[in-house]
Amino acid sequence: MIDSEGLREVIRSRRTSMFVDQTRDVPVSVVEELCELATWAPNHKKTWPWRFALFTGEGRSRLGETMAADMAHAEFGDDAKRTKTAGKYLRTPATLVVGCEPHPNDMLHRENRDAVAAAIQNLMLGATSIGLASFWSTPALTRPPAVLDLCGFHRDDRIVGIIYLGWADGIAPVPERPQVEVAHIDG
Ligand SMILES: Cc1cc2nc3c(=O)[nH]c(=O)nc-3n(C[C@H](O)[C@H](O)[C@H](O)COP(=O)(O)O)c2cc1C
């Protein structure tokens, strides 16, 4: 069992990083376990709003090409941007799309996204703990219809993050945090 110091070390050492070993696959079972860890995030009303779709191998090209097609359809970006998007999911051996279910209640709709964000952090901390680099990115479109179909998500789901995953083989720069300020009211 990881001790408290080990947990702090994992939290502080997680970096947004694409320094990965391109030749080493990330097993599906490893990503499945990370997704299971993700589901231990707090979730108001237990709506379980997260959705996961893993892309490896040629699947990563399909994801990029489908995203680029959705961008063209939405007239988003220029040709250069769409071409870049078509190839970008090949940057790491595994690319995980994380989606979020909507909710008819406005507060719960926002809380669903909060829960999915917490889930992604769980997933990335789990990744860090086993030597996987992770990189949370926001896609150009968060409701790209053909990508949602490809992922097996619903058309009214939104994408909260596209997470690049690979075995770490380099050290990303550490963005130092500003000193924390905590207001303390006692009485
Ligand atoms: C919601 C969210 C979306 C992000 N999207 C991007 C992104 O599109 N591109 C990017 O370079 N980094 C993205 N990041 C990563 C941040 O740039 C990164 O966390 C920040 O620079 C701090 O670095 P660290 O994670 O290594 O501490 C995103 C982070 C969050 C939480």
Tokens, residue 112: 């669903």
Q: For residue 46, what pLDDT is reported?
A: 98
Q: For residue 87, what pLDDT is reported?
A: 98
| Phi, psi dihedrals of residue 9, rounded to the nearest 5° | -65, -40
Cα 106 from Cα 117, distance rounded (Å): 17
Q: For residue 1, what pLDDT is reported?
A: 75
pLDDT, mean of residues 22-27 = 98
Q: What would the pLDDT profile of 53-67 be if each residue is shown by its tens digit?
A: 999 999 999 999 999
- Whole-prediction pTM: 0.97
Beta bridge partners of 51: 99
| Phi, psi dihedrals of residue 36, rounded to the nearest 5° | -65, -40
Q: Can you give the residue ranges of every domain in the chain?
A: 23-167
pLDDT, mean of residues 31-60 = 98
Give which of 45, 51, 42 is closest to 109, Cα–Cα: 45
C-alpha neighbours within 13 Å on the C-beta side of residue 110: 2
Across the chain, mean pLDDT equals: 97
Question: How many Å lie between the centroid of ligand 1 and the Cα of residue 159?
Answer: 15
Q: For residue 161, what pLDDT is reported?
A: 98
* Res. 126: pLDDT tops 90: yes
Contacts of 136 (CB under 8 A, 6+ apart): 16, 120, 124, 161, 162, 163
Which residue of 137, 160, 177 sits with most ligand 1 atoms within 8 Å of its CB, as the best mutation to test the pocket? 137
Cβ < 6 Å from ligand 1: which residues?
15-16, 136-138, 172, 175
Q: For residue 86, what pLDDT is reported?
A: 98
* Res. 28: pLDDT tops 90: yes
Q: What would the pLDDT profile of 127-147 be if each residue is shown by its tens digit?
A: 999 999 999 999 999 999 999
Cα 175 from Cα 150, distance rounded (Å): 35
Q: Is 128 helix (H, G, I), strand (E, B) or coil?
A: helix
Contacts of 163 (CB under 8 A, 6+ apart): 95, 96, 97, 98, 120, 123, 124, 134, 135, 136, 137
Nearest ligand 1 atom, CA 138: 8
Q: What would the pLDDT profile of 61-119 be if each residue is shown by its tens digit?
A: 999 999 999 999 999 999 999 999 999 999 999 999 999 999 999 999 999 999 999 99
Percent of the chain with pLDDT over 70: 100
Nearest ligand 1 atom, CA 17: 26
Nearest CA to ligand 1 atom 23: 16
Determine the topology of domain 23-167 in CATH. NADH Oxidase (3.40.109)
Nearest CA to ligand 1 atom 4: 137
The band of 2, judged by pLDDT with boundaries at 50, 70 and 90, is confident
Which residue of 136, 159, 162, 174 sits with most ligand 1 atoms within 8 Å of its CB, as the best mutation to test the pocket? 136
